[in-house]
Structure 1
Amino acid sequence: MAFVFPGGGTQYANMGRALYATEPVFREHIDRCAEISRAQLGVDLRAWMYPAPADAEVADRQLREPRHSVPAVWMTSYALAQQLLSWGITPQHMLGHSVGEYVAACVAGVLSVEDALTLATFRALVFERATAADRGASLSVNLGEAALRPLLPPTVDIAVVSTPSSCVASGPSPGIAKLEQLLTEREVVFKRLHIGAAVHSSLMDPVMAEVTERARGITVHPPRIPYGSNLHGRRIEPGDLTPDYWARHLRHTVRFADNVRDMLAHRGLVVIEVGAGTSLASAVSEQIDLSGTSDAVMISAMRQARDPRGDREVLVQCMAAAWSHGVDVDWQAFEGEDVGERVAFPVYSFERTRHWIEAGRELGQASAPSLSPSSSAASRPDVILSPGQADDALARQVAEAWGEQLGVSVLAPESNFFALGGTSLAAVRLIAKLQRRLQPTRRLLPEELLRTPSFGAFVEHVRPSCGVAPLPSDPPPPSSSALVLLRPGRAEDRAPLFIVHPAGGHVFHYRLLAEALDPDVTVYGLKAPGLEDGQSALRTIEALAEYHLRAIRSAGHTGPYQLAGSSLGGCVAYEMAQQLRAAGERPALLALLDTPSPDNLPRFDDHVEYVEYLFGDMWGVALSRAELAALPEAARIPHALA
């Protein structure tokens, strides 16, 4: 069993508030840590962590400051770890993400509570000072380390290798702006992160000596529990922990993907994320999925800020899931003074119907079922369905796939795929996984998650295609049209907006944009051909434009049309407008978003090169060109998703 501790940026007001109110062990350690921080910072962090309703906005602003967010995240993870330990849940391995390593070092006995917390807070104070003029910025980039490194401007560093296919780049604001422009031109998916400062970058160089000097005053002990070193990407060794280790830890790359790979070498591992939110669950689950051999299970012990469940409900469900996978739990310690008295069920009168066994028949030996937890217990997550919905085999199979892809252990009917951290790549992989496991009567499409992003609605949406009778409210199966409804409009007399796909072919890219547009206008995405069975990919912008205009017209839409597109999609939308003009029509709107000139678009000699670009360069999936070339064209993308 393993604990993983999240790092900075995971904080939110009221994280663990219900545990602070109801769990004495959690409260005891939060109070102790709060007093340590008060002596260092001059403020009681509990006022921002558990604010009064009238102070919620102020608390949210205060928790964005590194001097408050770093110790608050540290305290929450440490107190939650102590709560789990008090219930007999003891890890054999640990791993922290960035400042989360300070928690791992403390729980392992390497650092005292006072030294670990004050050193982590000191780190936050000095990097606030180092970034006073320019806090810098960080980008989460859907590229592996080898693909991203050649693209970095000189001032930008790889701050975190999150997974084999994603990294965080960090550095001064001008350098990050240059990287954003380059990634946009190459149609690489990225996202700006809302963090207090650009740690693990060159901006930390001026304070490394201070951190080293501060670390000279702490006492280091050998670890009682093994844990991973972010700096080295392997298990920590006693000789690693020199005073300058913590300065180099602040400055250099967090090798989290290497840490996870090292941790997953242990068979039958139950991994519990111990701290605010579920930020690490997705990264760990992706590596479990990519390994193809790991039988590890990922569970989160605390909810995300938007999760409607209560703190204790999530924690108890975490314990139940861990126990079902063979983790020992001290139920006496968990129940405390409230252990119920064992009572007998009431008896009932028998009907006294006799059932004779015919002589001469040999009976086999039956073994009594075991009630103890087993490491081979079902790995599917629990599914919470509202009254009236069937908890059937289909729902459980879909839940298992969602849980594996998103790293969640509990799903409610209203659980939203995208709110739980689902990305475009996760959607494509999930649908490919369900296609293999469910063997539906039609091809499932990733954009169906756009139509039905909640778990319960998605299950009922795919039910008719899986040999199970649909409920009366089931929507019809989607057609193979290029049109994907991103958001229905309220006004039937308003012309819809058609947004053309970027290079990846799918239109998940536009989900949040569609939600932000005029609610009266219906928004459609135009996906690329070649993403479904029986379709051929089109190789020119002119052919794509003609294909999409034909799809719009065949669906009954008439002009004047409103057209838009991002990156490659902007080029296609522009060509659609030119074809309309040549036919004597004039588009009502043509919007180009981050669209390069055609000369700057990537060009491919063959389909193999296109698949390498799409999955290797953009999403960081390791592929063999020789293996791709040996496959027929229709089999290459499914192979990349496997």
Structure 2
Amino acid sequence: MTLPHRRSVVLMFPGTGAQYARMAAGLYEHEPVFTRAVDEVVDLLGTEGEEARSDWLAPEPAVPMDADTRSAPLLFAVNYAMGRLVESWGVRPDAYLGHSMGEFTAAVLAGVFALDDAVRLLWERVLMQRTTPAGGMLAVAAAPGELSRYLGDDVVVAAVNGPRHTVLSGPDAPLDAVAGRLTADGRTFRGLAARSPYHSPALAPLVEPTEALIRTMRLAPPRTPLYSAYTGRLLAPEEAVRAAFWAAQPTTPVMFWPTLDEVLRVEDRILVEAGPSQSLTVIARGHESVRSGRSAVIATLPPRALGPGEDRRSVHAARERLLALTSSGRTDHSGRLPLDLPAS
């Protein structure tokens, strides 16, 4: 008798731009593991965390979700809680992969950062960002090489999310000028839900104080393999404990597509996006390994706010599919990659 081929499980965590109002709020106080994990994160922030949680659960938040005092802690909390929820189903991830800020969630679950240290680092960076220029990000339907003429004047490639999914970042004025040129040239693009020029030189002032802060923390080599979208490969133990590596991330481009390619090159996988928006699911569906059916991708949450009932239905469907795939060894795939440029 031939045993079914086991496909290893990789948990993926989205980054800044994936947040939306009331993301996963339908799970709060309905999924105990999820609820405890969210509370664990926001309680570490004291009053600021309580206010963020109130806005997250409110029909009309006092502070919009795109504000960094909301997007950063709440996206981290939801990612972390979704990771804990998936693991509570008896699924033991074989590896973790995060996009942008999602790499911090992956690092916590892999054992590199203690949760309280990661939350403190996250919040201190939010406060430090107030000293840097306002800016944003543009997702463009083009390969990085096609966009060289739009770069300069502090506008850079911030992320490579797919063969023709490139994110540009920069301060407001030069980025607005680039948007005008893209429009004039007939390029397809959209602005992302970000108010800072992430992964650009504009955030260079954050690097030195962030490194000093991380040096006060105790970092450990990953207990579970951790892929880094900043290196495009598995994070080596010595890299994982290097403060300079984590401190430089606000100015370093996210090479998500090359990293995903490396993840799927090693072996067939079941990719599980443990976070909102399905942006990484959209990316992964375009990979040949998923399109061919060798690997599979599962989204755990809806792509946008569709109500608390849909949050719960989405999670329950993801759980059933994941447990079916991990128990039987079979896989499936669905859909082509739509022209919907994912968040950074």
Q: Please give the TM-score of this superposition, normalised by the length of structure 2.
A: 0.89
Conserved 8 A contact 1:93-1:227: yes
Give 1:293 deviation, angstroms.
Answer: 5.9
Distance 1:206 1:423, change over 3 A: same
Larger radius of gyration: 1
Deviation string for 1:457-497 (max 9, x for gaps)?
xxxxxxxxxxxxxxxxxxxxxxxxxxxxxxxxxxxxxxxxx
Other-structure match for 1:30: 38
Measured after TM superposition, the shift of residue 107 of structure 1 is 0.3
- 1:101 corresponds, among 100, 103, 110, to 103
Name the CA distance, whole Å, in 2 between partners of 1:30 and 1:178: 39
User: Could you tell me whether the CA contact under 8 Å between 1:37 and 1:45 is conserved in 2?
Assistant: no
Which consecutive unaligned segments of at least 5 residues does structure 2 have? 1-8
Deviation at 1:198, TM superposition (A): 1.2
In the other structure, the counterpart of 1:376 is: 330
1:258-315: CA deviation from partner (whole Å, max 9, x where unpaired): 11111111433111100122121111211246x8767111111112334355222111
* 1:43 Cα deviation after fit: 4.4
Which residue number in structure 2 is paired with residue 124 of structure 1?
Answer: 126
In 2: Cα distance, 1:376 partner to 1:213 partner:
47
Letter in 1 for 2:12: V
Deviations 1:526-569 (A, max 9, x none): xxxxxxxxxxxxxxxxxxxxxxxxxxxxxxxxxxxxxxxxxxxx
CA distance in 1, matches of 2:340, 2:192: 18
Shift of 1:112: 0.6
Task: From the superposition, tell whether residues 46 and 185 of structure 1 become closer, same or farther in structure 2 (CA, over 3 Å).
Answer: closer
Counterpart of 1:228 in 2: which secondary structure?
strand
Q: Judging changes above 3 Å, is the alpha-carbon distance between structure 1 residues 292 and 286 closer, same or farther for their aligned structure 2 residues?
A: closer
Relative to structure 1, is the Cα distance of residues 48 and 288 closer, same or farther in structure 2, using a 3 angstrom cutoff? Answer: farther
1:222 partner amino acid: P
CA shift, 1:423, in A, is 2.5
Alpha-carbon offset, residue 199 of structure 1: 0.9
Q: Secondary structure at the match of 1:161?
A: strand
User: Retained in 1: the 8 A contact 2:125–2:210?
Assistant: yes
Distance in 1, Cα, partners of 2:34 & 2:85 = 6
- Corresponding position: 1:404 with 2:322: no
Q: 1:42 to 1:30 in 2, by over 3 A?
A: closer
1:18, 1:311 within 8 Å by CA — same for their partners in 2?
Answer: yes
AA aligned opposite 2:124 = F
| Residue equivalent to 2:279 | 279
Structure 2 counterpart of 1:226, which letter? P
Tell me, in whole angstroms, the C-alpha distance in 1 between the residues paired with 2:335 and 2:142: 21
Q: Would you say the 8 A contact 1:37–1:44 is kept in 2?
A: no
- Write the distance in 2 (CA, Å) between the matches of 1:292 and 1:271: 13
Alignment of 1:423 onto 2:328: no
Calculate the TM-score normalised by the size of structure 1.
Answer: 0.49
Show the counterpart of 2:5.
none
Q: Which amino acid aligns with 1:254?
A: V
What is the SS of the residue equivalent to 1:265? helix
Identity of aligned residues (%): 26
What are the Cα deviations for residues 185-212 of structure 1, in whole angstroms up to 9, with x where unaligned?
3322111222121111121012211111
> Residue 196 of structure 1 aligns with which residue?
195
User: Following the alignment from structure 1 to structure 2, what is the Cα–Cα distance between the partners of residues 31 and 42?
Assistant: 9
In structure 1, how many angstroms separate the alpha carbons of the residues matched to 2:172 and 2:239? Answer: 33
SS of the equivalent of 2:287 reads helix
Q: Is the 8 A contact 1:5 1:104 kept in 2?
A: yes
- Secondary structure at the aligned position of 1:126 is classed as helix
Match of 1:270, SS? strand
Structure 1 match to 2:113: 111
Conservation of the 8 A alpha-carbon contact between 2:16 and 2:193: no
Residue 320 of structure 1 is matched in structure 2 by 320
| Match runs of 1:550-629 below 5 Å | none
Structure 2 matches for 1:465-504, cutoff 5 A?
none
**Residues 171 and 196 in structure 2, CA contact (< 8 A), matched pair in contact too:** no
Partner Cα separation in structure 2 for residue 209 and residue 100 of structure 1: 21
1:376 shift after superposition:
2.8
User: Secondary structure in 1 aligned to 2:70?
Assistant: helix
Aligned residue pairs, count: 331
- Contact 1:230 1:249 survives alignment (8 Å): no
CA distance in 1 between partners of 2:36 and 2:146 (Å): 47
* Letter of the 2:44 counterpart: I
Matches within 5 A, 1:542-553: none
Alpha-carbon contact 1:267-1:294 (below 8 Å) kept = no
Question: Post-superposition shift, 1:118?
Answer: 1.5
Q: How far has the Cα of 1:162 moved from its partner?
A: 0.8
Conservation of the 8 A alpha-carbon contact between 1:128 and 1:197? no
Partner of 1:244: 244
Gaps of 5+ in 1: 328-372, 381-402, 407-421, 426-642
- Maintained 8 Å contact 1:2/1:270: yes
Question: CA–CA distance in 1 between the matches of 2:288 and 2:127?
Answer: 36
What does residue 49 of structure 1 align with?
Answer: 56
How far residue 64 of structure 1 moved from its aligned partner, in angstroms, is 1.8
Aligned match of 1:17 in 17, 21, 25? 25
Q: Distance in 2 between matches of 1:375 and 1:267?
A: 13
Greater RCO (Cα-Cα under 8 Å, separation 6 or more): 2
CA distance in 1, matches of 2:216, 2:148: 36
CA contact (8 A) 2:22 2:305 kept: no
Residue 115 of structure 1: how far off its partner (Å): 1.0
CA displacement at 1:42 relative to structure 2: 6.6
SS of the residue corresponding to residue 29 of structure 2 reads: helix
Deviation at 1:57, TM superposition (A): 4.2
Residue 254 (structure 1) aligned with residue 254 (structure 2)? yes
Determine if contact 2:10/2:95 at 8 Å carries over to the other structure. Answer: yes
Q: Distance in 1 between matches of 2:14 and 2:297?
A: 14
Aligned partners of 1:75, 1:20: CA distance in 2, in Å? 12
Question: Aligned partners of 2:69, 2:305: CA distance in 1, in Å?
Answer: 24
In the TM superposition, 1:345-384 aligns within 5 A as 373-377=327-331, 379=332
Cα RMSD (Å) of the superposition?
2.1
**Structure 1 residues 292 and 88: alpha-carbon distance in aligned structure 2, compared to 1, 3 A threshold:** closer
Contact kept in structure 1, 2:136 and 2:169, CA below 8 Å: yes
Query: 1:21–1:27: 8 Å Cα contact kept in structure 2?
Result: yes
**Residue 240 of structure 1, CA deviation:** 1.4
Hey, what's the Cα distance between the residues in 2 that align with 1:157 and 1:424? 21
Q: Secondary structure at the match of 1:214?
A: helix
Kindly provide the amino acid, as one letter, of the partner of residue 320 in structure 2. Answer: A
